[in-house]
Amino acid sequence: MPMHSNILFQNYFSDFKNYDEVLKSDLSINPNWEKLLKNLTQYGNQILIEKQNEINWLLEENGVTYNVYNDPKGMHRSWRLNIVPFLIHQNEWATIERGITQRSELLNLVLKDVYGKRELVSSGIVPPEVIYGHRGFLRQCDQIQYNTSKHLLIYSADLARGPDGRMWVVNDRTQAPSGMGYALENRYSLSRMMPDLFKDINVKQPTQFFDEFNQMLIDSAPNNVTNPNIVILTPGPLNETYFDHAYMASFLGYPLVTGNDLVVRNGKVWMKTLKALKQVDVIIKRVDDAFMDPLELREDSYLGVAGLLEVVRNNQVVIVNPIGAGVLENSGLIPFMNGICNYFFNEDLILPQIASWWCGQERERNYVLNNMREFVIKNIDRSNREYLHFCEFLDDLSLNNLRAEILLNPYKFVAQEKISFSTAPDFFNGTLEPRKVMCRTFAIANKHSYNVMPGGLVRVAAERENLFVSNQRGGISKDFWIISDEFQNSIQSYSWNNNNKISLSNVNDLPSNTAENLYWSGRYLGRALTTARYLRMVLNRMNNEQYNNQNSESRSLVYLYKSVTNITSTFPGFVGKNSEKTLQDPLKEILSLLLDENRIGSFAQTLSSFNHAYYSLRNLWSRDMWRVFDSIKKLWNKFKENETHSISELSKLLDRIITRLIAFMGLIEESILVSQGLLLYFIGLQTEQAMMHIAKLRALLVFNYSEQLQYEILESFLTSHESLNIYRYSYRSYLSVENVIRLVMLDTEYAKSLHYQFKRIQKDIRKLPQSETNSGNNYYSLHISESIKIIENLDITNLLELNNTKTLRQNLDDVLSELSNLLHKSSITLSDTYFNHAYQQKQLVNQNFPLA
Amino acid sequence: MIYQVSHTTTYNYEHGVSFCHNIATLKPKEVAGQTLLDYHLDITPIPEEISEKIDFFGNTVTRFSIQKQHSKLKVIASSKILKEVSTVSSIYNNPAAQQITLQQALLELKSNSTEILHVKQFCLESVLVANITSNIKAYAEVSFQPNRSIFEAAFELMQRIYTDFEFNAEVTNVATPIHDVMKLKKGVCQDFAQIAIACVRSVGLPARYVSGYIETLPPPGKEKLIGTDASHAWFSMFIPYFGWVDFDPTNNQIPSNQHIIISHGRDYYDVPPLKGVIYSTGKNKMKVAVDIRPVI
């Protein structure tokens, strides 16, 4: 193929230094890549640029994120997928597959030995320090007997092509390997966006692999349970690969839980659900080993479950992978791996590794120290970049510090040869560029051996010259194709794009943490919408006043400003001390209520709290919801960048946000089943709306105003409540306090009346599961019934009665205050009953050990 | 010598506890020269679940959980122990072992014998004895010199800690890092043991932590009050061709019949007498009382 003339390849040759996946040493094209390059070329450069943009957009819209800790842009950074896949022919893959299987089997035996007889140590194959000095070696897991077919149930290897043209093992991942979800999403997005890329190419699909994965989970359940309860344990939405956890949870159809959703009792692990405790048989672990049991392991951990290890010891639960498997993520083992392979299998490793020297041995140490610049030096038990030292780039001082560190604890260090791995084409700024790549592969235990996923996740170095490939710095990924000469089914034939597949069949089984997040999602959304509408109304009034009367200050506006502070509980604000000053520049205060994320009660803060609850539940949301939510975020972020904000801009922004919030709320109702917890969302939403409603009534209708002022206030109230038209329709009369109260408090049919809202809460609360433990203290329901009784017995004349000084409607205020109290009480008792705050685990003695 | 020991730990919970999981390392170890004649653990409220197992270091740990609401937890470990250190070969009767130098010991530690492979893990860093700094090493090297007997060196180290450090129960807690103790030169038995362990490991020798009790004698003419004894801790160093030798830097002596061993670990972190996770929202108050009496 005349690649030289292809614009895509224009710069590929100019700075081609390394060896490449596509170009052979004589600069001819590797035939395996020909069809792909042809398909790419046929798209044409301009289309490819568009496709890349579309994919970026699609992934962002779908909320595919990778969180980076300590990064200002960090949370929910978009995942990036390059349109050019990486590929390997089946013939070569067969060898790699054998190599991965061999290494899985080998590491399985190492794991068994390390926590068992430790023959590798006693027979001198592995130095004791490599095991005993590795922080992943958990003495608490010593001698645990497992009943699963293998100890190591999931294994993940990072591979890269070495100078000899073979794929080398760069890292072993055994603790909580991530990336399967990303790999799936990559394949799905690419097939959807660029079907023609697959033309005439037979790409193996991972469908069967995931079936086998599922089967492995079922088979590993203890006591031969036929229909085991399987959960995915995540550290939570702040974790860098939370997307991966949530994606796998919804793909496999297993609940996504955090440590506080689980509890150990009577020698078993239970999931706290709304109804009762439900026994858990298998836990897919995405929390690091040391954090899994605050009783026996790290006591500062809030991510695990106290007492879990003992349940594991008694074979009443299976953890995938077992706690303690982190000892295999050990670069100290690398120099001894071939010896281990010969010890167990009497054969050599199939997949080569990077030449490594363990500094615990004197001869090796001296060699390393005498040639430090030649090496990449690693800590045996830390794989983060901070612990990787590329010695050729270190200055003398850092090199000497490192040398001193090595001499102090030589057994902690391993030196590896500098290796330049192969590059593959990456689509960048309209052309192809060679970039270093690293392939993450996955293997799953079966009854006899291991199954390897055909393909995996390919990550690309962030910059052209970069040596190091890592997601931590926000890298790019690629779809990983294993191509075959035989026909393969296409990916679409398997319907895995199923966001709502959830095995929980009814609301009783809803994990209480999910329930709580749904409840709060409702509360925050209710608050966000009411706040936004109220602020919009005030802004519009400001705009009108400015237009009508430039100089004199409107009295009704002052009342509205004060009500804003009362309704949002953002004191002192427009009331209390220094309010005179605040009132001189009301826009400043309103801006703060809109935009200040650190101010409790502000719109920005409500939205960001909702954000948090929302991400915790991401496995429940549909793609449409992501899209709408994303558009709110974008609108918001763009607006925040503006330096000045005029009143009309602000009100326009609120218009757009309110529209989207309403669309979003509509989607929630159609995307989540009541049994998935929609009930809790409704209760939260109604509760918050009722609370805000009461606050508004108290702020605006209690005071007795002069006629003109009264009119303006009532009109504002109805506008913010979106009830003006209904009022006109129902009463066809001049605005009166009496009629307004009748409509928004007492009406039994109108969805925005307080009476109706309480009725609605009551109806939903009655559907909540009752269990032995919570039937006795069903106060939340009693509080609501009491409220409804109060409302039903209200007498309008009594409510309208003025106090002695004729300044306010004392009876109205008293009633509203009582209703508000009852609602708060009901909300607290509901939380206590269903969300298990009493079950927060904590240490008996807070020891605060300085743990590394 | 026979001792009756009772070790009582009481927790009062401000808001009550709905349930708890606990681990107790309170059962005295059976070692040469120390026989456990009787032991029982009384826990109130009575745990729904209780089990015993041997941990990685050969200590007996008891796990228990209480699954009903309670506002007070009381754990009483009562043991009857026979101490006969005279029956065990003493380092004092072994001139050869007393003379092993640092150089010789380090050479011997390179061997691949099962015992050496096992004790070598006590040369490595542990949770509370980590990142040993050069000033700790320098402190150790005053006593530990290549051609000097390691027994002599360890003995001197024990004496120096006894003289240089002030016993003060107010300044440290279980989590105080050894580096702070080294700066303050103040602490309790557990701090002194861990400083000594850091020193011994800094020169490449194996050292372990010993958790136990020591019998304290009342002032002359006064009767001993119940509960005035305390949990105690000291350190132990491995001497090749001989074995582990204990040193008590708090009392400047080689432990004998007055020292009762509960457990061994790399440091305190491996062998806390009682720990647990409670499900509660309030604070709690802890009280410990230890009473050791010779039985006639």
* Dist. CA B234–CA A35, nearest whole Å: 73
B78-93 pLDDT, tens digit per residue, is 999 999 998 888 899 9
The CA angle B228-B232-B233, to the nearest 5 degrees, is 170
DSSP 8-state symbol, A30: P
Band (A847; pLDDT cuts 50, 70, 90): low
Residue A289 has pLDDT above 80, yes or no: yes
pLDDT for A486 equals 87
Higher pLDDT, A397 or B286: A397
> Strand, coil or helix: what is B241?
coil
The answer on pLDDT for A157 being more than 90 is: yes
Identity of the residue in B22, B65, B279 whose CB atom sits nearest the CB atom of A838: B279
Q: Do A841 and B279 touch (CB under 8 A)?
A: yes
Q: Which residue of A has its CA nearest to B277?
A: A843
What is chain B's mean pLDDT, rounded?
92
**Interior angle at CA A239, CA A236 and CA A240, nearest 5:** 150
Mean pLDDT of A691-711: 92
Question: What φ, ψ does residue B186 adopt, rounded to 5°?
Answer: -140, 155
B277 and A840: CB-CB below 8 Å? no
β-sheet bridge partners, residue A262: A271
What integer pLDDT is reported at residue A549 of this predicted model? 54
Chain A positions touching B275 (Cβ under 8 A) are: 295, 299, 843-845, 847
**Strand A282-285 relative to strand A318-320: parallel, antiparallel, unpaired?**
parallel
Distances (CA, A) of B145 to A24, B137, B156, B242, B252: 61, 12, 12, 20, 21
Q: Which residues contact A452 (CB under 8 A, 6 or more apart)?
A: A97, A100, A101, A209, A441, A442, A443
DSSP A139: G
Q: What is the per-residue pLDDT across A230-260, written as a single tens digit (0 to 9) for each? A: 999 999 888 888 888 988 888 888 889 999 8
Of B49, B281, B284, the CB nearest to A267: B49
pLDDT of residue A551: 43
| pLDDT at A499 (0 to 100) | 38
pLDDT confidence of residue A772:
54
Q: Flag if A122 and B127 touch (Cβ within 8 Å).
A: no
Using the beta-carbon criterion (under 8 Å), do B278 and A843 form an inter-chain contact? yes
Give percent above pLDDT 90 in chain B: 75
Chain A touched by B103 (CB under 8 Å): no
The closest alpha carbon to A450, from A257, A658, A209, belongs to A209
Partner-chain contact A265 B19, CB within 8 Å = yes
Among A171-175, A275-279, B38-42, the minimum mean pLDDT is found in: A275-279
Judged on CB neighbours under 10 Å (0-12, 13-18, 19+), A11 is middle
Residue A614's pLDDT band (boundaries 50, 70, 90)?
confident
Q: What is the pLDDT of residue B250?
A: 93
Q: What is the dihedral of CA B50, B54, B57, B63, to 10 degrees?
A: -10
Q: What are phi and psi of B19, to 5 degrees?
A: -165, 170
Cβ A204 vs Cβ A482: under 8 Å: yes
Chain B residue with the nearest C-alpha to that of A268: B49
What is the maximum span of chain B, computed from C-alpha positions, in angstroms? 61
Highest mean predicted confidence (pLDDT) among A46-60, A137-151, A273-287, A510-524 = A137-151
Cβ neighbours, 10 Å, residue A339: 14
Task: Write out pLDDT tens, residues B7-35.
Answer: 999 999 888 888 899 999 999 999 999 99
**Interchain proximity A849–B274, CB inside 8 Å:** no
Quote the tokens at residue A175.
């603790």
User: How much is the pLDDT for A550?
Assistant: 46
The yes-or-no verdict on residue A108 having pLDDT over 80 is: yes
Residue A72, number of CB atoms within 10 A of its CB: 6
Contact A239, A467 (CB under 8 A): no
Give the type of residue at A335.
P
- Are β-strands A318-320 and A388-390 bridged in parallel, bridged antiparallel, or unpaired? unpaired
| Residue pair A253/A230 in contact by the 8 Å Cβ criterion | no
What pLDDT, on a 0 to 100 scale, did the predictor assign at position A582?
A: 87
Give the CATH number of domain A355-417; options: 1.10.10.10, 3.30.1490.270, 3.40.50.1220, 3.30.110.30: 3.30.1490.270
Chain B residue with the nearest C-alpha to that of A125:
B112
CA distance B223 to chain A (A): 33
Q: Is the pLDDT of residue A142 over 90?
A: yes
Q: Looking at residue B226, what is its pLDDT?
A: 66
Mutate to test the interface with B, among A844, A846, A851 (most CBs of B within 10 A): A844
Q: Where in chain A is the domain with CATH 3.30.1490.270?
A: 355-417
**Chain B residues whose beta carbon lies within 8 Å of the beta carbon of residue A128:** 117-118, 120-121
CA angle at A66 for the pair A60 and A67, rounded to the nearest 5°: 120
**Alpha carbon of A337 to those of A137, A156, A264, A341: distances in Å?**
17, 16, 38, 6
Query: What's the one-letter identity of residue A483?
Result: I
Task: Give yes or no for a contact between B150 and B105, defined as CB atoms under 8 angstroms apart.
Answer: yes
pTM: 0.85
| Alpha carbon distance B205, B211 (integer Å) | 20
The reply to whether B96 touches chain A by the CB within 8 Å rule is no
Nearest CA in chain B to A848: B175
| Strand A256-257 versus strand A230-233 pairing type | parallel
**How many other β-carbons are positioned within 10 Å of the β-carbon of residue B281?**
16
Chain B contacts of A142, Cβ < 8 Å? 56
pLDDT of residue A70: 43
A539/chain B closest Cα distance in angstroms: 44
Q: Which residues of A touch B63 (CB under 8 A)?
A: 307, 310
**What's the rounded mean pLDDT across residues A113-123?**
96
Q: Do A295 and B275 touch (CB under 8 A)?
A: yes
- CA A139 to chain B, closest CA, distance in angstroms equals 6
**How far does A63 lie from chain B, in Å, by closest CA?**
36
Q: Which of B268, B94, B68, B104 is nearest to B177 (CA)?
A: B268
The answer to whether B30 faces chain A, any CB pair under 8 Å, is no
pLDDT at A9 over 80: no
* Closest residue of chain B to A840, computed from CA coordinates: B279
Residue A68, pLDDT score: 53
- Is the pLDDT at B203 greater than 90, yes or no? yes
Q: CB–CB of A479/A195 below 8 Å?
A: no
Report the C-alpha gap between B84 and B87 in whole angstroms. 6
Query: If we measure between CA atoms, which residue out of B15, B70, B14, B66 comes closest to residue A837?
Result: B15
Instruction: Give the pLDDT of residue A498.
Output: 40
Q: How far is CA A503 from CA A251, A254, A271, A285, A507, in A?
A: 11, 6, 14, 19, 11
Q: Does B11 touch chain A (CB under 8 A)?
A: yes
Q: pLDDT-based confidence at B225, cuts 50/70/90?
A: low
**B55 and A299 in contact by Cβ < 8 A?**
no
pLDDT tens, position by position, A738-786 = 999 999 999 999 999 999 999 999 999 888 887 655 554 567 788 999 9
Q: Does B177 touch chain A if contact means CB atoms closer than 8 Å?
A: yes
The SS3 of residue B10 is strand
What structural domains and CATH numbers belong to chain B?
2-83+272-294 (2.60.40.2250), 90-270 (3.10.620.30)
Distance CA A810, CA A806 (A): 10
pLDDT given at position A516: 87
pLDDT band for A500, please (50, 70, 90 cuts).
Answer: very low
Strands B70-83 and B34-44: antiparallel
CB pairs under 8 A between A and B: 104
Q: Cis peptide before A572, with omega less than 30 degrees from 0?
A: yes
ipTM: 0.93
- Say how far apart CA B21 and CA A284 lie, in whole Å: 23
How is A756-767 classified by DSSP, letter by letter? HHHHHHHHHHTT
Q: How far apart are CA A794 and CA A798, in angstroms?
A: 8
Nearest C-alpha in B relative to A406: B131
**Tokens of residue A315, six digits:** 């074979």
The per-residue pLDDT for A852 is: 44
Scan residues 208-267 of B and list those with Cβ closer than 8 Å to A.
none
Give contacts of A840 with chain B, Cβ < 8 Å: 279, 281
Angle between helices A724-731 and A707-720 (to 10 degrees): 120
The answer, yes or no, to whether residue A71 has pLDDT greater than 70, is no
CB atoms within 10 A of CB A314: 14
Of B56, B175, B274, the CB nearest to A849: B175
A406: pLDDT strictly greater than 50: yes
Euclidean distance between CA atoms A23 and A489, whole angstroms = 29
Mean pLDDT value across residues A697-721: 92
B142 and chain A: CB distance < 8 Å anywhere? no
pLDDT category at A504 given cuts 50, 70, 90 is very low
Average pLDDT over residues A87-105: 97
List the one residue out of B268, B266, B248 whose CA is nearest residue B258: B248
Token pair listed for A758: 């309480």
**Which region among A114-118, A626-630, A720-724, A799-803 has the lowest average model confidence (pLDDT)?**
A626-630
What's the confidence (pLDDT) of residue A226?
A: 85
Q: What is the mean pLDDT of residues A206-227?
A: 91
Which residue in A737, A762, A735 sits closest to A748, CA to CA? A762
Angular region, A130: left φ>0, alpha ψ -120 to 50, beta rest: alpha
